[in-house]
Structure 1
Amino acid sequence: MRIVVELLKFIFRGGTMAQYQQSHLSLWQEDIIFPNLEPLSESITTEICIVGTGFAGLLLAYRLLKAGHKVVLLDKDPLGYNESSRTSAHISDAFDDHFTKILKKHGKEKAQLSYQSHHEAIDLLEQIAREENIDCDFKRVDGYLFLGEGDDIQTLQKELEAAKTCGVIEVELLENTHGMFFDMGAALRFGHQAQFHPLKFTSALINIIRNRGAKIFTRSQVVKVHDDVKAPWVELANGTKVTAQKVVMATNVPVNNLISIIAKEAAFRSYVLGIKVPRGSVNQALMWDTHDPYHYIRIDASPERDYDILIVGGEDHRVGQEEHPELRFERIQQWVTERLGLKDPQVVYSWSGQIIEPMDGLAYIGRNPGDKNVFIHTGDSGQGITHAAIGSMILTDLIEGKEHRWGSVYDPSRFHLSGLNDFLKDNLQNGIQYADWIYRDEKDLTELLPGEGCVVNSGLTKTAVYRDKEGSLHKMSAICTHAGGIVKWNAGEETWDCPCHGSRFSKMGEVLNGPAMHNLPLKKEEKNEESPLKKKDDSQMDTFSRGTR
């Protein structure tokens, strides 16, 4: 069945599957076939230009169109291959960074407004699904925060008190959670959370906004954003331009912002396993623990299967700052066995996604600092779906010249002295990564196996080298095109990851994740004799690489 689905995707995308590299397809991507939309081929003018077709871009376009505006959307990837396709689709108004932290950093008034915004965001998503008749398996469920290893019940008691201070009504501390599929122990129960199939929702939303006049151009990579008092514009890699009255960068990380926002957030990879379990054996609920980084759990009980998929994620780490990211899947499986009590779990999906963590726990939504007509949406932390809905409400008002009651909470220009230590610590950690310029890697390229990559010295510079499955070497600059960091090879995803600000590039050097906007410059490609080391056969492949397509 998977082969048929992938073939149909290839046909509908006009044979363009290879334009976006993703080693591990998510559970959601198996089910949905998106239309093949053309790239922008000539310069155009519009009212609102939105860069990004994930949740944030699509929800904003939906609300702007309802308000009577004209909208153009751009994306460098084919539809269905952005970060929104790799979510676990936990839809919660319980803060990802905990109520205690948000209350401490922002004070009672803004913490209450932030909670209110996430609560109303879930209502908005439910309303859209209902009013537009979107069949996306939307379901209200309970959420449970349980104790991670080494934490005690006081952690939950403090979080309960902070949640109530922030205005949460439907929350309670349970000393035990009988009836759950594993021994969760004490937990906080948050009522009225939600889950859905993210790509069923976004694919339907794409059809709706196109029918209402929105123009969407994919494989259209923006490389320059220019604010102008009268008419801002964006320039694409092919030289075409979109001129608009307002421009919104809804690109997960703002590729138009070199330092001011990038310095206030950090990029993480988060890993997810999809595990086959008997139908009805796992409670329909959202579950996450207090560990740092935390683990998160939910079930996908699709009526189209005779079994369920247990979704378990976590093991987050800073992009490019983990020597063996491919082992994170194994750690999740070990945790599933030890904590959830599932012996020999049958892993049928594995994928990872990029999470942008803001310095103070809240997203940056509003005018780009220093600009008048360019807006940004970034720093979603682990709550990208609710933040996207929040952003659609705030940005619609700002674009129409109105103030919004949550605007100051998410203002990208904000800076809190309470977050100064985190700011200095994160940027020091980023700065340390530039020491890779000094480190000399003397790796012998004859030892590089097919499917592997490494960084080597080339005089005073660094070269990223990838050996393809046929044994040919491909060389490109190892210098990140954003701010000059040295990329590292990610064996789990077969990507080049920058440890400084989280940019990621395909094995051939194409930009996958910003803030970089330009590919790694290619060097002369060399055709080598076949590696003297034996090529990997199927039996040597990572267990989690099999079955993901």
Structure 2
Amino acid sequence: MLKKSLWSSFATDPEKYPKLNKDIAVDVAIIGGGITGITTAQVLTERGYTVAVLEARSVGHGTTGHSTGNLYIIIDELLSSLKSKYNKDVVIRVIESRKAALEKIEENVEKFGIDCDFSRQPLFLYEDVNNIKILEEIKAAKEINLAFTELAEDFPFEQDNGIKFDHQAQFNPLLYVLGLAASIDKEKCSIYENTAVRSVEEQKDRVLVNTSEAIVAAKYAVHATHTPKGLELQYHTTLGPYREYGVAAKLESTSHPQGIFWGYYKDQKYSIRSYSRGDENYLIAVGSPHKVGQAENNQKHVEDLVAFIQEQFIVGQITHTWGGQNYKPADLLPFIGRKTKNSREFIATGFSTDGLIYGTLSANIIADKVEDKFNRFEDLYEAARHQPAKSAKKFVKENVNVAGEFLKDLSFKGDDKDLMEIPPGEAAIITRDGEKVAVYREPNGEFKIVSALCTHMACMVHWNNAEESWDCPCHGSRFDTSGEVIEGPAYNALPKKIIE
């Protein structure tokens, strides 16, 4: 079982927010309390709007609290990938938009005095075997006149070739979001935790956001949930849901090189950074990705990452291991804006692993759209766009993958097991009375039994043995062992089942 993320170790006394238990009315209802939702709330309240933030669990502890804390103006998929799909002007504007978001984060840290270890750092990109990716990146950077330097021979890690982008940044993302949430005007913004949204109903002049115990009536609603909730197939069919893992190990000193390090080791990309707070010093490595619900052994991915950090660096005890989720857009750009042309619902999704930057950028774009103001980046990320030439290959790949998983699971009969054959701490999909059920046996021997069909689109969930969750291989919904939604497009829990 994975431990908590490193960032959560330093959020020891976060502000607690109530559960929504009565109907309310606001200008804007925001679904999700991560960096996207909290930043959007902060921007809108400063502009005079009343806001309600509805977080299903705890503010900042979802995707934001499981990210790297790295901030950079190039994209995770690299400039060369972006340049392969878009012209020079578009690539430059993407870089400008990301730079503006990074500067907004820095401005908020200073403005609100947020203690989150923000610092400007360089980004290093290097390979240990060949220099094909580096050469492509050098070419792309030169074409848009983006400043970089090639790595010197005294670079501390083994590398064949590499480059450095100066003036990027790092912080503790969880402390940042908690600090930003605490700074928001409480007269204009109410934040609710443990408040899961069950449905959203858009009407002519308002949006009704239905939670477990109450209804929020709003002029507008913002889906700040990393992926839109519900059957928003125009987005889910163009997004690939992925999980990757993070590990943190103790460092004996602060002498480890500072900066963001993206290393390609035998074509596997790892994100590496150090982090210090007080007398605690850590090295963090993130990587080992796979499609959600499609790993044969999730724990093996974590073990591979632990082995990597121990083989490549001088580290002490492994103190933290965690997983994180991201959604990769087929055309490499996120979807930010109105769900459809005249919709009262706004979407912010498809951030890949760049959610800290894109979540911040989304806040300004969406706030401008609420005010019916022009935003110079809105056309780049228009949520209702359709770019078949730029997304066709990945669109087909992702949907063939989803169809394959659905058909494979359709023919799966389930393990022919008696409940007592499932060892404590393990799980299995079994069939009873023609129905597939997901069974988890707790360490004390008790059983938790739920439907094995995802409540989003009825794909069969798969067991994640690293995080003890049921993960959907189609569109990335995840459920805990009681069937409750952890993340993803699913609104509703897996129904509980009884086996005699």
**C-alpha separation between the residues in 1 aligned to 2:9 and 2:310?**
26
Please report how far the alpha carbon of residue 371 of structure 1 lies from its aligned counterpart in structure 2 after TM superposition. 5.0
2:493 is matched with which residue: 503, 516, 519? 519
**C-alpha separation between the residues in 1 aligned to 2:158 and 2:169?**
22
Give the letter aligned to residue 70 of structure 1: T
Give the letter aligned to residue 403 of structure 1: F
1:141 is matched with which residue: 116, 121, 131? 121
**C-alpha separation between the residues in 2 aligned to 1:394 and 1:512?**
27
**C-alpha separation between the residues in 2 aligned to 1:254 and 1:334?**
35
Unaligned runs of 5+ in 2: none
Unaligned runs of 5+ in 1: 1-21, 527-549
Please report how far the alpha carbon of residue 58 of structure 1 lies from its aligned counterpart in structure 2 after TM superposition. 0.8
**1:5 paired residue number:** none
Query: What's the secondary structure of 2:199's corresponding residue?
Result: strand
Alignment of 1:285-434 (within 5 A): 285-290=259-264, 294-302=269-277, 304-305=278-279, 307-338=280-311, 340-342=312-314, 345-369=316-340, 372-416=343-387, 417-434=389-406
1:54-103 per-residue CA deviation (whole Å, 9 max, x = no partner) reads 00011111111111111111011123421111111111112111111111
Give the letter aligned to residue 439 of structure 2: V
1:124-153 per-residue CA deviation (whole Å, 9 max, x = no partner) reads 11111112111211100011011155xx22
**C-alpha separation between the residues in 2 aligned to 1:205 and 1:438?**
49
1:213 is matched with which residue: 188, 209, 226? 188
**1:538 paired residue number:** none
Please report how far the alpha carbon of residue 341 of structure 1 lies from its aligned counterpart in structure 2 after TM superposition. 4.1
Is this contact kept in 2: 1:511–1:518, CA < 8 A?
yes
**C-alpha separation between the residues in 2 aligned to 1:400 and 1:222?**
25
**1:166 paired residue number:** 144
**C-alpha separation between the residues in 2 aligned to 1:515 and 1:177?**
47
CA separation of 1:148 and 1:57: change in aligned 2, threshold 3 A: farther
**C-alpha separation between the residues in 1 aligned to 2:405 and 2:242?**
15
CA separation of 1:200 and 1:461: change in aligned 2, threshold 3 A: same
Is this contact kept in 2: 1:462–1:479, CA < 8 A?
yes
Please report how far the alpha carbon of residue 329 of structure 1 lies from its aligned counterpart in structure 2 after TM superposition. 1.6
**C-alpha separation between the residues in 1 aligned to 2:492 and 2:268?**
31
1:298-320 per-residue CA deviation (whole Å, 9 max, x = no partner) reads 11011x12x41000010010000
**C-alpha separation between the residues in 2 aligned to 1:209 and 1:269?**
31
1:193 is matched with which residue: 158, 168, 191? 168
- What CA RMSD, in Å, does the superposition of the two structures yield over aligned residues? 1.7
Give the letter aligned to residue 494 of structure 1: E
Is this contact kept in 1: 2:207–2:219, CA < 8 A?
yes
**2:431 paired residue number:** 457
Bigger strand fraction: 2
* Percent identical: 28
Q: Tell me the TM-score normalised to structure 1 length.
A: 0.87
Query: What's the secondary structure of 1:46's corresponding residue?
Result: strand
**1:226 paired residue number:** 201
Query: What's the secondary structure of 1:245's corresponding residue?
Result: strand
Please report how far the alpha carbon of residue 418 of structure 1 lies from its aligned counterpart in structure 2 after TM superposition. 2.6
Alignment of 1:247-258 (within 5 A): 247-258=221-232
2:456 is matched with which residue: 469, 482, 488? 482
CA separation of 1:371 and 1:508: change in aligned 2, threshold 3 A: farther
CA separation of 1:396 and 1:259: change in aligned 2, threshold 3 A: same
Query: What's the secondary structure of 2:102's corresponding residue?
Result: helix
**C-alpha separation between the residues in 1 aligned to 2:250 and 2:422?**
35
**1:237 paired residue number:** 212
**2:47 paired residue number:** 67
Query: What's the secondary structure of 2:29's corresponding residue?
Result: strand
Give the letter aligned to residue 88 of structure 1: T
**C-alpha separation between the residues in 2 aligned to 1:355 and 1:293?**
17
Give the letter aligned to residue 365 of structure 2: I
Is this contact kept in 1: 2:230–2:490, CA < 8 A?
no
CA separation of 1:447 and 1:27: change in aligned 2, threshold 3 A: same
**C-alpha separation between the residues in 1 aligned to 2:316 and 2:80?**
35
**C-alpha separation between the residues in 1 aligned to 2:41 and 2:184?**
7
Give the letter aligned to residue 73 of structure 1: V
Is this contact kept in 2: 1:474–1:525, CA < 8 A?
no
**C-alpha separation between the residues in 2 aligned to 1:458 and 1:402?**
56
Query: What's the secondary structure of 1:82's corresponding residue?
Result: coil
Report the more deviating stretch, 428-437 or 328-337.
328-337
Q: Tell me the TM-score normalised to structure 2 length.
A: 0.95
Is this contact kept in 2: 1:40–1:220, CA < 8 A?
yes
**C-alpha separation between the residues in 2 aligned to 1:289 and 1:365?**
30
CA separation of 1:477 and 1:256: change in aligned 2, threshold 3 A: closer
CA separation of 1:488 and 1:178: change in aligned 2, threshold 3 A: same
**1:469 paired residue number:** 443
1:107-132 per-residue CA deviation (whole Å, 9 max, x = no partner) reads 22221111111111111111111121
1:90 aligns with 2:70: yes
**C-alpha separation between the residues in 2 aligned to 1:189 and 1:327?**
32
Is this contact kept in 2: 1:177–1:184, CA < 8 A?
no
Is this contact kept in 1: 2:49–2:188, CA < 8 A?
no
Is this contact kept in 2: 1:160–1:172, CA < 8 A?
no
Is this contact kept in 2: 1:252–1:377, CA < 8 A?
yes
**1:25 paired residue number:** 4
**C-alpha separation between the residues in 2 aligned to 1:136 and 1:177?**
33
